[in-house]
Amino acid sequence: MTTSTIAVAGMTCGGCANSVRAELKAVPGVVDVDIDLSNGTVTINSDAPLDEAAVKAAVEEAGYQLAS
Read off the pTM: 0.93
Q: Render pLDDT for 49-67 as a digit per residue (tens, 0 to 9).
A: 999 999 999 999 999 999 9
Q: Render pLDDT for 7-61 as a digit per residue (tens, 0 to 9).
A: 999 999 999 999 999 999 999 999 999 999 999 999 999 999 999 999 999 999 9
Query: Under a CB-based contact definition with an 8 Å cutoff, are residues 1 and 52 in contact?
Result: no
Cα–Cα nearest to 30, from 65, 68, 59, 64: 59
Cα–Cα nearest to 6, from 30, 37, 42: 42
Residue 68 pLDDT greater than 80, yes or no: no
